[in-house]
Amino acid sequence: MRICPKKGTAVLNLVAIAAMVWLYCLDKIAADPVAAMPGQPSSMQAPDSVEAKMPVDRLEAGINMSNIRLPAPPPVSAAMRLPQAAVSQPSANKQVLSELFPASEPALVPLVPKTAQEATARTMPMIAKPINVKPAKLNQVAVKPLMVSPAQRKPTALARLAAPAPPKIMKTPALRPITVPPPPQTRAPQKTALQDLDIRQANLLKGQRTLDMVANKGGLDMEIFWPDTERQSAYLYDVMTRCFGMRSAVLNRAGEMVSTAGKGEANHAGLSPLIRQLRQPASRGEADIIAKIVAQHHIRGAYTPVRIFTKSVDARLVDGIVQLTGKPIGPNSVLRADYVIDRGRVFVANITHDGVRAAGRVLLVDGGC
């Protein structure tokens, strides 16, 4: 047996409606049991009756399906109308169900089967309409065909890359041995032979004029240092006193020179105006002479021990220094020298005249007077 799908859908709808009505009636009976009793009018059938009968259990009495009436279905539009087809139903389904419902309750709307077109129309997603975009009109410019001249048809010859020239080998010059010159032979400086001038070779007259000139103009700054050793100092003191007439004297507080000969110029005639001031006695004998002078002349207070020579000795010494330095001596000259003893001979050496060093020495004694 072949069942049409549309008829089957209608039957299912009717069954669903009947089930809903049955459930609705069950709820109604639970709310108003009196209306379900047989032979008794319900509140909906007899609204004028005041007294209500005793409720009867609807489950015991059952549901009378003969008087149930369904409300009329809503009007169907022409679009929703379905083609009518004869549906064969059993006789039991052909009974009309009817029932009076209260006016306050909403009427049940029967389920109308939807067509396949409506179902698909509602479930279809919204599809945006395609936007017709018109392409902009392009300014078509006529392209001129490229005309290739016959001269250009020939391929241009590529420049040939020349192979790089091999690097030039730089010939390094042969290294020559460096000849280091021998270091210069440092010759020991030859000691120049000092010019020794014997004091006896000096000009006495020139020396005296020089002494007189410096004595009249304030004196001469001349200093000759004695040896450091006691032995040489004692030897020099002995030579000077025996060979050159040197004397020891004292200058008192008044500046007067006192010697063993006494006081005054008469006692010092023939002596040089150049007086040497001594720092300490050269020997024990010189210290005894100085102490004797102080005690003999009752010198009180400070005094200065000095040494004096004869005028002829200093005149020759000054002229000998002038000959060695080549520079005349004046009142402002500064003379410095040393007494040097070399193998018994006595020299005035290391002479400087105003800072200029003399190349020679003045020989005073050559082993004896």
The amino acid present at 143, given as its one-letter code, is: V
* pLDDT tens digits along 70-110: 666 666 555 455 444 444 444 444 443 344 444 455 555 55
Check residue 103 and give its pLDDT: 47
- Count: domains in the chain: 2
The reply to whether 179 falls in a domain is no
Q: Is residue 42 part of a domain?
A: yes
Q: For residue 162, is it within any domain?
A: no
**Is residue 273 included in any domain, yes or no?**
yes
Q: Report d(CA 280, CA 87) in Å as an integer.
A: 175
Cα–Cα distance between 197 and 283 in angstroms, integer? 28
Give the residue from 57, 81, 115 where a domain finishes: 115
Token code pair at residue 180: 């280091």
Model pLDDT, residue 239 = 92
Does 144 reside within a domain? no
pLDDT in tens, 196-233: 899 999 999 999 999 999 888 877 888 999 998 999 99
Q: What distance in Å separates the CA atoms of residue 208 and residue 201, rounded to the nearest whole number?
A: 14
Same domain, 105 and 224: no
Q: Does 238 share its domain with 354?
A: yes
Digit-coded pLDDT (tens) for 261-282:
777 665 567 888 888 888 888 8
CB 184: neighbour CB atoms within 10 A? 6
Q: Looking at residue 210, what is its pLDDT?
A: 92
Whole-model pTM: value is 0.47
Residue numbers of the domain that contains 202: 195-366
Give the CB-side neighbour count of residue 34, counting CA atoms within 13 A. Answer: 14
Indicate whether 184 belongs to any domain. no
- Residues of the chain with pLDDT below 50 are 38, 40-61, 79, 82-103, 119-121, 151-152, 158-159, 189
Residues 108 and 218 reside in one and the same domain: no
Whole-number pLDDT of residue 93: 43
Is 8 within the bounds of a domain? Answer: yes
Of 6, 58, 53, 50, the closest CA to residue 34 belongs to 53
Structural element, H or E, at residue 262:
strand 262-263
Query: The tokens of 336 are what?
Result: 């410095």
* Residues 200 and 338 reside in one and the same domain: yes
